[in-house]
Amino acid sequence: MFMGIDPGRDKCGVAVLNSAGEIKFQRVVPTEELDSVIKNLAASMQIQSVILGDGTTHKSAAQKISAAGLKFQLVDEKHTTEEARRLYWQKNPPRGWRKLLPTSMQVPPEPVDAIVAEILVKRFLQAQS
């Protein structure tokens, strides 16, 4: 299992995927709860490595990961938010009046940080193959 973390000041995206890229956990959590989420997931799933985005506040997230006894890899976050927005609309096709507007002109109605975490793990897995 691989845990992806998209660190942020107020909230973090967290996703756990297996080596085939299947999502086992995905959620946006408040940053102050990140350390307990990491510890709980590490205890309940066999986390092989944590894939950490190199953006905002990644250094404090790295400290929390190390404190939980896990190894981490930094992955470039460049353009992950845009990719996550596109993926959001693929997973949640617009309905009603939203179908009339191109998704490129729409902002998802919820944070996409957890999808960014998923993308980080998939980028890492793709680079390994």
Kindly report the pTM of this predicted structure: 0.92
What SS3 class is residue 52?
strand
Distance separating alpha carbons of residues 30 and 23, to the nearest angstrom = 20
The model's confidence at residue 55, banded by pLDDT at 50, 70 and 90, is: confident
Rounded Cα distance between 114 and 100, Å, is 26
pLDDT digits (tens, 9 = 90+) for 89-101: 999 999 998 899 9
- List, for residues 58-86, the tens digit of each pLDDT value: 999 999 999 999 999 999 999 999 999 99
CA distance 86 to 105: 11
Per-domain boundaries in the chain: 2-128
CATH superfamily of 2-128: YqgF/RNase H-like domain (3.30.420.140)
Q: Is residue 129 pLDDT above 80, yes or no?
A: no
